[in-house]
Amino acid sequence: MHKLTDPTSQTLFENCVADVNIPVGEVFTSPVLDGTNGVLHVEDIYLGDLRFYNLKISFKDGWVDSYSCTNFEDMDEGKKYIHENLLLPHKSLPLGEFAIGTNTTAYQIARKYDIMSLLPILIIEKMGPHFAIGDTCFSHEEDAPHPSFLNGKEMIAVDNEKSATRTTDPMNAYTQKHMDITLPYEMLESITAVSHDGTKTDIIRDGRFVVPGTDELNIPLMQMEQLI
């Protein structure tokens, strides 16, 4: 995460409203690349018109380090499938975004009518936590002011080490790609925020929002269980 120099006037997360991002329901940030390591695993997901089974992407210092899927018996064919459809013309991509989609009503409808594969990415990304590989959400607009519509705080997590080179190497500062990879709520054991003092605060636990005041977001998810 970026570091706040003045928490009273700065924020690390953008809570999108319907001025430029429709439908609503997303809280997002641009992660720092250095030190961002881990594995992103999604059991079943549509990215564009293509379906991926057991998509796994490993990140090292915020860059795609290795990847696999089980679309083919031959694992090399799976790697080729990912490289050709997610990475090209690049060998690797940076982690451009981490977000939590909060539009649980859209998710309920998509599951109820089995239309997940038909929906555009602007809806899919609102239907669960997601990571994006490629450029940040603020690509080419990092130096403009980004005040929060909710509290007036300035959003400072607008770039990363890749896009920060726009002042010295503008031709190579951007990847011209941004692919959102969304995790369904029911796949999540937890999303937990860790404060500087080590205090841990759950945001999602066992596929449900647990932050005080977010109970209403769980209603469509509970209704889904009742319909099954």
Under 8 Å between Cβ of 185 and 204:
yes
Q: Render pLDDT for 6-18 as a digit per residue (tens, 0 to 9).
A: 999 999 999 886 6
Distance CA 84, CA 62 (A): 20
The band of 19, judged by pLDDT with boundaries at 50, 70 and 90, is: low
pLDDT of residue 18: 63
Supply φ then ψ for residue 221, to 5 degrees: -70, -40
Q: What is the pLDDT of residue 21?
A: 63
Q: Is 172 helix (H, G, I), strand (E, B) or coil?
A: coil
What is the layout of strands, in order, in the sheet containing 178-182?
Answer: 14-15, 26-29, 95-101, 129-134, 178-182
Return the higher-pLDDT residue of 178 and 25.
178
Among 123, 129, 121, smallest CA distance to 207 is for 129
**Mean per-residue pLDDT, 127-143:** 95
Q: Give yes or no for a contact between 54 and 45, defined as CB atoms under 8 angstroms apart.
A: no
Residue 16 pLDDT: 80
Q: Report the mean per-residue pLDDT for the chain.
A: 93
Contact indicator for 160, 136 with CB cutoff of 8 Å: yes
The pLDDT value recorded for residue 5 is 94
Average pLDDT over residues 180-186: 92
Q: Note if the pTM is more than 0.85.
A: yes
- DSSP-derived secondary structure letter, 119: S
Q: What average pLDDT does the segment 133-140 reach?
A: 96
